[in-house]
């Protein structure tokens, strides 16, 4: 991937896409293509095909997709399934048709079985029942991973690369309480509790489930590393994690300290926990030479600073 290579970032305004653009520009890559949804609807097959035909991108980071937390996944399963599969299918077909050199697709740790051994290895995919609360989204992501392998096998290429980052956080995350993931939801809940001078905050579940988190800029570094080392990758998916996990209770304590909330934390055990643990075995990708570089506290401070700047300007995402 040369500095003048034509690079398309699908989903460039989101959490990972914006981090990839930031890193690429910092490294001197200038020939970057980015389209907002109003300019290019990737769920429209003819629009996606026309875009790839006209632009002829050499490298594609497929960060576009519809994501959300437990509430959103339970409320809008058909939307999650249809939107993600439509985008994936259209982009994969166009990328193959117009000879993209490499495309990175991103899965999610929710693709692994609900009762998977921990840490989760790549070969555990499709070996058991997945978590019901994220079933539709997980099935869409699993379809994308299988598609990467299928295209590579049928067309005798290594064009498609599948990465599985664990729960990401960082600037430009989604902080809408209905649709956000656990860490961004905690940041917003604690911030609002602090601003409203609440003496206690009630959080969902027991707080016992454990989550591994990866800063978006570390995931961006991993993505660029994968593009540059595509010849070293096998036709399989690769886990991308930080190598450390925390209980939701521990995360809540850390976030409350960074936000500066001084009240009590209580847990509503009548609400669902979701999967008890989602810890990735990233050894296959680490063996190729990549390492994460941002610890949780530093990443959270950067994320909260971005949150404060954007909540003041009314720019936080409120979306399904």
Active site residues: 137
d(CA 225, CA 190): 35
Q: Exposed, middle or buried, 38 (CB in 10 Å: 0-12/13-18/19+)? A: exposed
Counting runs of H as helices and runs of E as strands, what totals does the chain give? Answer: 10, 12
CB 122 within 8 A of CB 236: yes
Query: Distance between CA atoms of 187 and 169, rounded to whole angstroms?
Result: 11
Neighbouring CB atoms inside 10 A of 50's CB total 13
Q: Strands 210-215 and 277-278, how do they pair?
A: parallel
Which residue shows structure tokens 């067309």? 155
SS3 141: helix
Q: Distance between CA atoms of 55 and 68, rounded to whole angstroms?
A: 31
- Cα 45 from Cα 182, distance rounded (Å): 33
Q: What are phi and psi of 265, to 5 degrees?
A: -115, 125
Residue 152: phi and psi, rounded to 5, are -60, -45
Candidates 32, 296, 315, 293; CA nearest to 168 is 296
Residues in the chain: 320
Which of 287, 301, 209 minimizes the C-alpha distance to 258?
301
């Amino acid at each position: 991937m040369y500095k003048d290579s034509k690079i398309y970032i699908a989903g460039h305004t989101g959490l990972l896409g914006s981090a990839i653009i930031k890193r690429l520009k910092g490294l001197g890559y200038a020939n970057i293509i980015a389209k907002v949804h109003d300019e290019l609807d990737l769920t429209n097959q003819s629009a996606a095909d026309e875009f790839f035909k006209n632009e002829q991108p050499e490298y594609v980071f497929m960060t576009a997709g519809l994501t959300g937390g437990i509430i959103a996944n339970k409320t809008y399963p058909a939307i999650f399934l249809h939107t993600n599969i439509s985008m994936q299918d259209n982009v994969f077909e166009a990328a193959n048709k117009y000879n993209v050199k490499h495309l990175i697709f991103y899965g999610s740790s929710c693709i692994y079985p609900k009762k998977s051994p921990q840490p989760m290895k790549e070969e555990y995919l499709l070996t058991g029942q997945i978590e019901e609360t994220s079933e539709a989204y997980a099935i869409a992501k699993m379809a994308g991973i299988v598609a990467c392998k299928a295209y590579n096998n049928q067309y005798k290429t290594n064009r498609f690369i599948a990465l599985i980052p664990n729960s990401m956080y960082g600037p430009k995350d989604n902080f809408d309480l209905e649709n956000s993931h656990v860490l961004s939801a905690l940041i917003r809940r604690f911030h609002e509790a602090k601003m409203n001078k609440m003496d206690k905050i009630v959080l969902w579940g027991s707080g016992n489930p454990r989550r591994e988190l990866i800063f978006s800029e570390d995931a961006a570094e991993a993505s660029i590393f994968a593009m540059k080392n595509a010849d070293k990758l096998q036709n399989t998916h690769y886990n991308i994690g930080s190598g450390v996990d925390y209980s939701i209770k521990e995360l809540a304590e850390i976030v409350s300290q960074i936000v500066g909330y001084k009240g009590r934390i209580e847990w509503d055990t009548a609400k669902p926990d979701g999967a008890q643990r989602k810890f990735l075995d990233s050894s296959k990708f680490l063996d190729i030479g990549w390492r994460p570089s941002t610890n949780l506290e530093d990443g959270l401070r950067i994320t909260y600073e971005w949150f404060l700047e954007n909540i003041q300007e009314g720019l936080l995402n409120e979306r399904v």
